[in-house]
Structure 1
Amino acid sequence: MLINADFSLRAIVTPEEQRWTASPQPGVERVMLDRVGGEKARATSLVRYAPGSSFQAHEHPGGEEILVLSGTFADDESEYPEGWYLRNPPGSSHSPSSPKGAVIFVKLWQMDANDQVVTRIDTHAPATWREVDGQQMCPLHVSPRERVCLLRLPAGAEVLNPAEDDCELLIVSGALVEGNQHYAAGSWLRFPAGGFTTLHADEGGATVYFRQGQLIGLGDLR
């Protein structure tokens, strides 16, 4: 299966374009934002858990990255309410579930094999935020290949991509504007290196997941 699989092209999926489809696990649905592969795939998705739904224990050979957008996500270790960010390294395993329901943003099979850091960050905690280059930022992950953070943008503030790397955004709250185009909360945007455009927060501001660096495909994994 190939969905937005050409990383040399920009890709945008707005909430109006999202199509929720059933996963093999009852009570779990997903929106496939990009995907290379079948059921075990290099994938970026929104995943919705019905209350009480769960997966059996399974491994993630290429790692897994999660941002909890609403509700409460759970695994073998703990429960993670809205705002928690998790990284499970390549070779890790878990039994995910959601006792009360949840929506999460998930990236699978997009980590270097040497990236063995386990991350758990409560992005609602004030101590996780700092000012960087005039922007309110919550750093989530830094490695030679990628930098991941949340940005809080006041009205009119521009999203900066100084290195002009590949980058990816998910609008967590508020909205971004590109020319005459308005991207509401839930919109997902991906830009190839050199293809980044001018994006700024609308009059209500925005909170944005922002990933900058090399887009890792299955063929890049070492």
Structure 2
Amino acid sequence: MADSVVLKDLINGGWKDLPFEPFKPGIEVHFLLRGEPEIAILKYAPGASAPLHLHQAAESILMLEGSQSDARGTYVAGDFVINMEGSQHCVSSPEGCVVLLQWAKPVKFLA
């Protein structure tokens, strides 16, 4: 196992050459760290969404490209969002987006 993982210039597309794999319908993933916590880059196709889900632990999101919306607002590149344990929301990305995501426990899908 490596001592560290270094990704340069993520906010300016440093993620574009990473290999992605299917994750959820319309969403691809590149895992940077598996286990607890998990850290990944998610790539949403235009129109992709995540149904209503419950955060079983805090989750942090750094928007790298595009936009993503939930009931609280729309987030764009450079925005940082923390979804607290116990919070619930649906996520949509009409234009598509790329996010850096960290979570300690998987979400529980409610829909």
Bucket of the pairwise TM-score, normalised by the shorter protein? 0.7 to 0.9
Q: Where do 1:46-61 residues align within 5 Å?
A: 46-61=41-56
- Provide the TM-score with structure 1 as the length reference: 0.41
Contact between 1:70 and 1:102, CA under 8 Å: does it hold in 2?
yes
Letter of the 1:96 counterpart: V
Deviation at 1:50, TM superposition (A): 0.5
Deviation at 1:69, TM superposition (A): 0.5
Residues 62/81 of structure 1: CA separation in 2 closer, same or farther (3 Å cut): same
**1:11 maps to 2:15:** no
Q: Where do 1:1-222 residues align within 5 Å?
A: 10-12=3-5, 14=7, 15=15, 18-23=18-23, 25-36=24-35, 42-109=37-104
**Structure having the higher Rg:** 1
Unmatched 5+ stretches in structure 1: 111-222
Summarize deviations over 1:65-91 as a string: whole Å, max 9, x none: 011001001112211111111011111
Could you tell me how far apart the structure 1 residues matched to 2:16 and 2:46 are? Answer: 24
Contact between 1:57 and 1:95, CA under 8 Å: does it hold in 2?
yes
Contact between 1:13 and 1:33, CA under 8 Å: does it hold in 2?
no
Moved segments of 4+, more than 6 Å: none
- Provide the TM-score with structure 2 as the length reference: 0.78
Percent sequence identity over aligned pairs: 31
Residues 35/99 of structure 1: CA separation in 2 closer, same or farther (3 Å cut): same
**RCO (CA 8 Å, sep 6+): is it higher in 1 or 2?**
2
Unmatched 5+ stretches in structure 2: 8-14, 106-111
